Amino acid sequence: MIGNTCQGCGATLGKPPWVYEANFAGGCPIYNCAIGQKGYSHCGLCPELPCSMFSHLKDPNMSDEAFHQSLAERIARLKGTRKC
């Protein structure tokens, strides 16, 4: 989960609140890559997960410790999900 208010990329169409704080006015780069460029329904279907973008892009409101803790959980959840 990205932050405590993440509803998933599908619910926010790749524009969770933190993307604006991080100056990603065009939306989440991970969402844009997986859904917009590669045509997956969510990034968990991408065989490159976790890519460097996924591993380094974080909600600026999260501590480094919280981010690293959530990274493995998000990857496992995404890889085990057919719908996001």
30: closest CA among 69, 4, 59, 5? 59
Predicted confidence band at 70 (pLDDT cuts at 50, 70, 90)? confident
Quick one: how far is CA 75 from the chain centroid? 9
Predicted confidence (pLDDT) at residue 1 exceeds the cutoff of 50: no
pLDDT at 37: 94
More confident residue, 12 or 66: 66
- Evaluate whether 51 touches 37 at the Cβ level (below 8 Å): no
How many of the other CB atoms lie within 10 Å of CB of 44?
Answer: 20
- Say how far apart CA 21 and CA 59 lie, in whole Å: 9
Predicted confidence (pLDDT) at residue 18 exceeds the cutoff of 60: yes
pLDDT tens digit sequence for 24-64: 778 888 889 998 999 998 888 899 988 998 888 877 788 98
Predicted confidence (pLDDT) at residue 3 exceeds the cutoff of 70: no
